[in-house]
A = this chain, B = another copy of it.
């Protein structure tokens, strides 16, 4: 059955800055969606400017995996919408926050930490190393790939110890960063992936497209077991 992906983007930089618009004429969401469609996923895009921030209940209900890009507008997401995303993850929806989507309300709420880092705008070189070559999100990659010019993110990255550390980045300016981390929250799978500043054509790189495609496959919901919560009767007899 086809995986239903929603690519969500705040879509601010592309509208406000001509160089970003030239780089991503269909928006960052458009570039990501095009790559995923090529790999056979059913993809829709939504942006902050759509009704209910683009994430109304029906859209969420119909989404298997939500790919999320945000940066300057992280605080502009309605709290109610953020909670809707969090609850959908608990119920099994995959969630893939990209770049400074690490500061988005849904990701911060799912982590329970500050998600703080250090950063630098310098256009430096990043080498993304595969730390977990047996992970399906690394399928088909070489042991590293280069992002020629990017914003740096540096450790310490204040997140819970991850289930798996798939990628660790090296930066020309001397820092390191855990760039691809896997989590489970409730029934949902989360893959936090660092690369992707709006000032660089990172989402056009084939390795990045490959990672996103692999991540969507990995993050899709599974049917799971049935669950009862709340007050229940005893299943074994006893004398109280």
Q: Which residues of A contact B (CB under 8 A)?
A: 86, 90, 92, 109-114, 116-125, 127, 129-136, 138-144, 149, 152, 154-158, 160-161, 163-165, 168-176, 178, 183-188, 222-236, 238, 240
Are B229 and A118 in touch, CB under 8 angstroms? yes
- Do A122 and B240 have beta carbons less than 8 Å apart? yes
Which residues of B are found within 8 Å of A116, using beta-carbon distances?
229-230
C-alpha gap A223/B233 in the complex (Å): 39
Contact A113 B133 (CB under 8 A): no
CA distance A121 to B57 in the complex (A): 36
A165 to B162, CA, bound (A): 10
By a CB distance below 8 angstroms, the chain B residues around A155 are 129-131, 168
With A120-B231, A139-B224, A140-B225: A175-B184 Cβ-Cβ less than 8 Å: no
| Pairs A–B under 8 Å by Cβ, sample size 22 | A111-B112, A118-B228, A119-B231, A120-B233, A122-B238, A129-B176, A133-B156, A133-B227, A134-B188, A135-B222, A140-B223, A140-B225, A158-B186, A160-B183, A160-B184, A160-B185, A164-B184, A168-B176, A170-B176, A173-B234, A173-B238, A174-B234
Q: Is the interface of A mostly helix, strand, loop or mixed?
A: loop
A133 neighbours in B (Cβ, 8 Å)? 156, 187, 224-227
Question: Are A165 and B163 neighbours in the complex by a CB distance under 8 Å?
Answer: no
Asked whether B92 lies within 8 Å of A112 as measured between CB atoms, the reply is no
For the complex of A and B, list the 6 residue pairs with the smallest distance between their C-beta atoms, beginning with the closest: A134-B187, A173-B234, A174-B236, A174-B235, A138-B225, A172-B238
A134, A143, A224 — which one has the most chain B CB atoms within 10 A of its CB? A134
Smallest CB separation, A163 vs chain B (Å): 6
Complex contact A223–B139 (CB within 8 A)? yes
Query: Considering only CB atoms, which chain B residue lies closest to A123 in the complex?
Result: B240
